Structure 1
Amino acid sequence: MAHAYAVVPMVCSKHYATAFLILVCPCLALGQALPQHGNAALPDSPGFLRQAQGFETGEAQGTAQVQGTVQDTQGNPIPGATVVLTAPGKLGDHTAIAGSDGSFVFTGLPQGDFFLIVTAAGLAPYTSPEFAVRAGATVQAPKIALKLATSSSVNVYASSEQIAQAQIQEQQQQRVFGVFQNFYTSYIWKAAPMSTGQKYKLALRTQSDPTTFLVVAGVAGAEQYNGTYPGYGSGIEGYGKRYGAALADATTGRFIGSAILPSLLHQDPRYFYQGAGGIRSRAWHAVASAFICRGDNGRLEPNYSHLLGNLAAGGIANAYHPASSRGVGLTFETLGVTTAGNMVGNLFREFLLRDLEPSVPRFAHGKP
């Protein structure tokens, strides 16, 4: 420090030199005592505190480490979560990103008290209790279990086919008196269109239902009683033939009219319950549905599927009906009887069956 004192008498008077030395020399002495970092901090400044605690960025921090795992409340790891290690008094922050197994680790930490702040998309932030870290120790962080954020919203999108499948499953619960299936009535006016696979599956489900065989048995019994198809004869043998023919009629009509043609022509084979409107409007809708159907595009079209399906089923029946009950005339006669049966059935669907089916959801009430 002698060189600093020697310069002053050469440029100043004795009194000015004395004052200068009193003011300047302590600062120079302090400047020699502090670390030479360009902008050294005073002992009582925040920067000095960070240095004293070993928390300044880029400086060797210490020998301790903290490790842990980020999970949800079900114990599943949350990869990509942001984990911030901080200390009371805001002495500095360390940040880590949780790995694929939700784990994280902080190394080179000084001794002190810390806590964690954890955040992840769609989950509520988590702040851990304060915990102590000793020099050279490996500390397991407190258990971290993130919960769903209460303010977040979840949007669920379903495809048209998924919506249709859910609606078809509802239809398959529809049973008159809780027994007889009514799977081809949609009480949802704006139901999603069925895919090709769904049309075939619904036809198979309908034909394999036990009540279908019960109804066929009733039809065969009525034909036996009325002497329909006399070529089949009488007795158990005649009834068996009528039962087999009636089952074949029902199966070919169902698959051709409700699966094959609707898939090829992109038409919906279901009856859509109207519900709203006066008796005349609803009756007209029921009768017209035997001739007009809804296309997969939502537009009304001639009901080629059912009409041609019934005609095709009648033509195929010529292969196993008695010779006396075959021919083009009988085929078209069968078409007329079947179509009339569809109209009557639709009237029952429109005015009666819904009240007899306990499984129909309340929201499914036809045309809005």
Structure 2
Amino acid sequence: MNKPLRFALLAGVVLSLCLSQARLHAQNLAMATLPDAPGVSPAGALPGQSTGPDNGQVQDGQQTKRILGIIPNFRAVSANTKLPPQSVKEKFITASQDSFDYSSFVLPSVLAGYSLGVNSVPEFHSGGAAYGRYYWHAFVDQTIENYAVEFIVPAIAHEDTRYYTLGNGGFLKRTKYSLERVVVTRSDSGKPTFNAGEVIGSGAAAGLSNLYYPQSQRTFGNTAQRWGLNIGIDAGTFVFKEFWPDINQAIFHNAK
């Protein structure tokens, strides 16, 4: 059996085993601090609109659909907001938005430029053709990871893929909360649960990438590195989402 197929099968086996265990560990993760569980918004309330007790007053932690008017922020939920359970269709839609939005081509271009600069895959050579190879690999990596993390695994594990802004407390508390979202998320019923979508989904995506990377890149170390990169980028994104409302308020005065 060739190495790409072994890695793909390994990713599938790990995915199946971990999903079966994720539900068993949910209660152990329940001690992690989360905002109130999502519920159905009152009639007339819009997604992201606060439904807290302040009777319509502007709340801290108000998210926008895009960051800086460009970067997709469709999964971020404003602080103190209660929403209905996320449907499988909604998970598919947000994964598609994050994969094919006009701004989704930016990160792969940056990663491709860096990889070209450090010659991370010698088989791609150099020059414009090499940049194209790096770019399509980075774009496919991103797309597979988005669907695995935001749709496929969460649909199986019954997880909510939205980021619920904490919006209160000090910098360290909120940073800790946002980083913890890598391993702790909400179930569709609103309870804390192991984030199988992030941990297992990104690992499975890294394993599947061995099907289209050159032979030299299909080692366990390189696969683990791509897995870590996927999680690291998402962790940084969670932190930025948490503090985006503060940045938006301070600099842009809640620009939409």
- Tell me whether the two structures share a fold, i.e. TM-score over 0.5: yes
Partner residue of 1:185 out of 76, 101, 111? 76
- One-letter amino acid matched to 1:167: P
Asked if the contact 2:92/2:151 (under 8 Å) is kept, the reply is: yes
Asked if the contact 2:63/2:77 (under 8 Å) is kept, the reply is: no
Give the direction of change, closer, same or farther, for the CA distance of 1:235–1:172 in structure 2 (3 Å limit). farther
Give the direction of change, closer, same or farther, for the CA distance of 1:213–1:168 in structure 2 (3 Å limit). farther
C-alpha displacement at 1:191, in angstroms?
A: 2.7
Q: Distance in 1 between matches of 2:100 and 2:248?
A: 22
Give the direction of change, closer, same or farther, for the CA distance of 1:180–1:284 in structure 2 (3 Å limit). same
C-alpha displacement at 1:182, in angstroms?
A: 1.8
The residue that corresponds to 1:316 in the other structure is 208
For residues 233-254 of structure 1, the C-alpha deviation after alignment (integer angstroms, 9 at most, x for no partner) is 1111111111110010011000
Q: Which moved more, 1:229-238 or 1:331-340?
A: 331-340
C-alpha displacement at 1:178, in angstroms?
A: 1.2
Structure 1 residue ranges, 4+ long, deviating more than 3 angstroms after superposition? 159-163, 356-362
Are 1:213 and 2:105 counterparts? yes
C-alpha displacement at 1:166, in angstroms?
A: 5.0
Partner residue of 1:229 out of 88, 101, 121? 121
How many aligned residue pairs are there? 203
Equivalent position SS for 2:167: coil
The residue that corresponds to 1:283 in the other structure is 175
Q: Distance in 1 between matches of 2:140 and 2:150?
A: 15
Q: Distance in 1 between matches of 2:246 and 2:73?
A: 10
Equivalent position SS for 2:185: strand
For residues 65-99 of structure 1, the C-alpha deviation after alignment (integer angstroms, 9 at most, x for no partner) is xxxxxxxxxxxxxxxxxxxxxxxxxxxxxxxxxxx
Q: Distance in 2 between matches of 1:321 and 1:172?
A: 37
Give the direction of change, closer, same or farther, for the CA distance of 1:348–1:221 in structure 2 (3 Å limit). same
Give the direction of change, closer, same or farther, for the CA distance of 1:206–1:340 in structure 2 (3 Å limit). closer
- One-letter amino acid matched to 2:137: A
Asked if the contact 2:48/2:78 (under 8 Å) is kept, the reply is: no
Are 1:342 and 2:222 counterparts? no
Q: Distance in 2 between matches of 1:361 and 1:192?
A: 26
* Greater relative contact order structure (CA < 8 Å, 6+ sep): 2
Give the direction of change, closer, same or farther, for the CA distance of 1:210–1:354 in structure 2 (3 Å limit). farther
Give the direction of change, closer, same or farther, for the CA distance of 1:279–1:361 in structure 2 (3 Å limit). same
Are 1:303 and 2:183 counterparts? no
Listed as ranges, the gaps of 5+ residues in structure 2 are: 1-38, 50-61
Asked if the contact 2:63/2:76 (under 8 Å) is kept, the reply is: no
Listed as ranges, the gaps of 5+ residues in structure 1 are: 1-158, 363-368
Asked if the contact 1:231/1:323 (under 8 Å) is kept, the reply is: no
C-alpha displacement at 1:334, in angstroms?
A: 1.8
Q: Distance in 2 between matches of 1:305 and 1:321?
A: 23
User: What does 1:119-158 align with in structure 2 at a 5 Å threshold?
Assistant: none
Asked if the contact 2:159/2:197 (under 8 Å) is kept, the reply is: yes
Asked if the contact 1:274/1:350 (under 8 Å) is kept, the reply is: yes
Asked if the contact 2:167/2:242 (under 8 Å) is kept, the reply is: yes
- One-letter amino acid matched to 2:200: L
The residue that corresponds to 2:34 in the other structure is none
Equivalent position SS for 2:47: helix
Give the direction of change, closer, same or farther, for the CA distance of 1:246–1:359 in structure 2 (3 Å limit). farther
Q: Which has the higher strand share?
A: 1
Q: Which has the higher helix share?
A: 2
Partner residue of 1:249 out of 131, 138, 141? 141
C-alpha displacement at 1:226, in angstroms?
A: 2.0
For residues 108-146 of structure 1, the C-alpha deviation after alignment (integer angstroms, 9 at most, x for no partner) is xxxxxxxxxxxxxxxxxxxxxxxxxxxxxxxxxxxxxxx
Equivalent position SS for 2:188: coil
Q: Distance in 2 between matches of 1:249 and 1:314?
A: 8
For residues 294-333 of structure 1, the C-alpha deviation after alignment (integer angstroms, 9 at most, x for no partner) is 1111111110111111111101110111211112232222
The residue that corresponds to 2:65 in the other structure is 174
The share of aligned pairs that are identical, in percent, is: 27
Q: Distance in 2 between matches of 1:334 and 1:216?
A: 13
Decide which structure has the larger Cα Rg and report it.
1
- Alignment RMSD (CA, Å): 3.0
